[in-house]
Amino acid sequence: MHINFAMWRKASWELIKMDDKKEWDALDVVSKWLIATRSAVTAVTVYSCIIAGALAWRDGYFSLLPWIILTVGLFIAHGTNNLLNDYTDFTRGVDNDNYFRTQYGVHPLVQKFWTKNIQIKWFIVSGVLATLSGVFALFYTNFNPYIIGLFAFGALVLLFYTWPFKYWGIGELSIFLIWGPIMIAGVYIALVLGNGGDISNVFKVALAGVPFGLSVASINIGKHIDKMDDDKKKGVGTFPVRVGQTVARYVDIASIVVAYGLVIYLVATGYFSTLMLLVIFAAQRAMYAIAVLSKPRPDAAPKGFEAFWPTWFSGFCFYHNRMFGGLFIVGILLDTVARKFETSLPVNINMLGAIAIAIGLIYAVAQMAIAKAKTAKA
């Protein structure tokens, strides 16, 4: 067995499909963990932590090592949740009979790549590592009640997302809260308190985390729309199952639109400079997602869109989230750098942003026409 760095990179960027157990057995431990935990999706956790770290840096309270410990711990916690999710659904019989989950990526239990006992062991090891990061956060912040509360809420969602939250139709809400305001504000609070800072503006930080949280929630809502027929048969009462496909699709569209609206609001109120409007460059992908969500799910993958199938709605939302999240981070970093060196800049910081948004708007308008033409064929 050799260390497969190429698979680490691939599994961190895309969901892996694999049918050969010999191929699975030949993988190194890290590759198996990355594939089994669907780390291409858990990358959203890293995005949330980068956003939190960038905001802490902007306010003068960033420390690299604590940030790395928190980020790695939360990344592992997300993977732990996915291991528990698969174990719970498999044990309850949900993931059997060619269920949606087994169609878009490796499911070690369904495919008999390993046993339930091995899955439990991986869950325990991952859970312990994630917990150690949480314990570090508690000591680093002198057991601050905010951190204790956020840690407890995160643990609650990790343990009970699959059941009963997802069955009650509130799984989507918990995804939004965790990967948006709670994780971003939580990591920010830990970094600030660990450096003896003041967290009086934490509400604004939490609000700044809402746009990214909405873009993550859009993926989850899209996925649950994609598999709602299977969920109905198996008694999984997700939000789309409870409200119907049409309402769920328009709620998903609203989550994307509101994400951009909040970025504009945060710029208008001065929390961010106009450099944050770089997210407009993601408008092309947003339009793809919105155009697809405006129509009922097709029965089969339209020609040219096979790569997204069976994750139709969630595939487009994920495609958008990658770029929106990346540009959100770039915008914060540029905003922070510009603020720190504002006195030495040849032009006003908002003038820089205005130039960026002008370019972005021209780009967006040009791409909207392309998006509309392509999705019209879907």
Structure tokens given for 70: 């928190």
The predicted-structure confidence for 283-323, as pLDDT tens digits, reads as follows 889 998 999 999 999 888 888 777 667 788 988 998 899 99
Give dist(CA 167, CA 171) in Å, integer: 8
Structure tokens given for 84: 């528990």
200 pLDDT tier (thresholds 50, 70, 90): confident
- DSSP codes, 196-235: T---TTHHHHHHHHHHHHHHHHHHHHHHHHHTHHHHHHHT
364 pLDDT tier (thresholds 50, 70, 90): low
Structure tokens given for 134: 């949480």
98-102, 118-122, 251-255, 262-266, range with the lowest pLDDT: 98-102
Predicted model pTM = 0.87
pLDDT at residue number 310: 78
1 vs 270, residue with greater confidence: 270
The predicted-structure confidence for 95-108, as pLDDT tens digits, reads as follows 676 566 666 778 88
157 pLDDT tier (thresholds 50, 70, 90): confident
Residue 71 has pLDDT above 90, yes or no: yes
Beta-carbon neighbour count of residue 276 at 10 Å? Answer: 25
pLDDT at residue number 250: 96
Residue 354 has pLDDT above 60, yes or no: yes
Structure tokens given for 49: 């932590």
Beta-carbon neighbour count of residue 363 at 10 Å? Answer: 14
The predicted-structure confidence for 219-254, as pLDDT tens digits, reads as follows 999 999 998 988 888 888 899 999 999 999 999 999
Give dist(CA 378, CA 366) in Å, integer: 20
Alpha-carbon dihedral 111, 114, 115, 121, rounded to 10 degrees: -130
266 pLDDT tier (thresholds 50, 70, 90): very high
